[in-house]
């Protein structure tokens, strides 16, 4: 059972992600406020989806901070954005990948699967 954390302020996206990863091996939790991430002490997620456009915060910046925190440093992060250059930006910010909206759910599932497999090894 893998714990996927989605940080986004768009409730529709949260809903969609819940449906995409509705499979039993996934447990999806959502934060609409990015600051909440830094308060995590237990139940550390296996993967974080981070929208670059958050209300009151920049997703890329949040990503960099997470990559600096000792507890969150090793959590793979996938950035989601409407900007076409997100893949490059994501890599620069320390994320494992960046996906551009709109995306194919097949590809997204594949990406998550490979990311978690790598981490599992």
Q: What residues make contact with other proteins under the rule CB under 8 A?
A: 10, 12-13, 15-16, 19-20, 53, 82-85, 88, 101-106
Which of residues 106 and 121 has its CB atom nearest to other proteins in the complex? 106
| Partners of 50 in the β-ladder | 7, 79
Residues 6+ apart with CB under 8 A from 68: none
Min separation Cβ 32 and other proteins, Å: 14
Which of residues 1 and 23 has its CB atom nearest to other proteins in the complex? 23
Distance (Å, whole) CA 88 – CA 100:
11
Min separation Cβ 41 and other proteins, Å: 31
Distance (Å, whole) CA 23 – CA 60:
28
Which of residues 18 and 119 has its CB atom nearest to other proteins in the complex? 18
DSSP H or E run through 94: none
And the tokens for 12? Answer: 């529709």
Min separation Cβ 74 and other proteins, Å: 27
Min separation Cβ 9 and other proteins, Å: 10
């Amino acid at each position: 059972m893998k714990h996927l954390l989605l940080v986004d302020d768009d409730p529709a996206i949260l809903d969609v992600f819940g449906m995409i990863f509705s499979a039993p091996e996934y447990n999806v939790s959502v934060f609409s406020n990015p600051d909440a991430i830094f308060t995590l002490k237990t139940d550390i997620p296996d993967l974080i989806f981070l929208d670059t456009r958050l209300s009151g915060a920049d997703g890329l910046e949040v990503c960099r901070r997470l990559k600096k925190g000792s507890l969150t440093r090793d959590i793979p992060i996938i950035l989601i954005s409407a900007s076409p250059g997100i893949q490059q930006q994501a890599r620069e910010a320390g994320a494992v990948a960046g996906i551009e909206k709109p995306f194919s759910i097949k590809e997204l599932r594949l990406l998550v699967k490979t990311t978690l497999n790598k981490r599992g090894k």
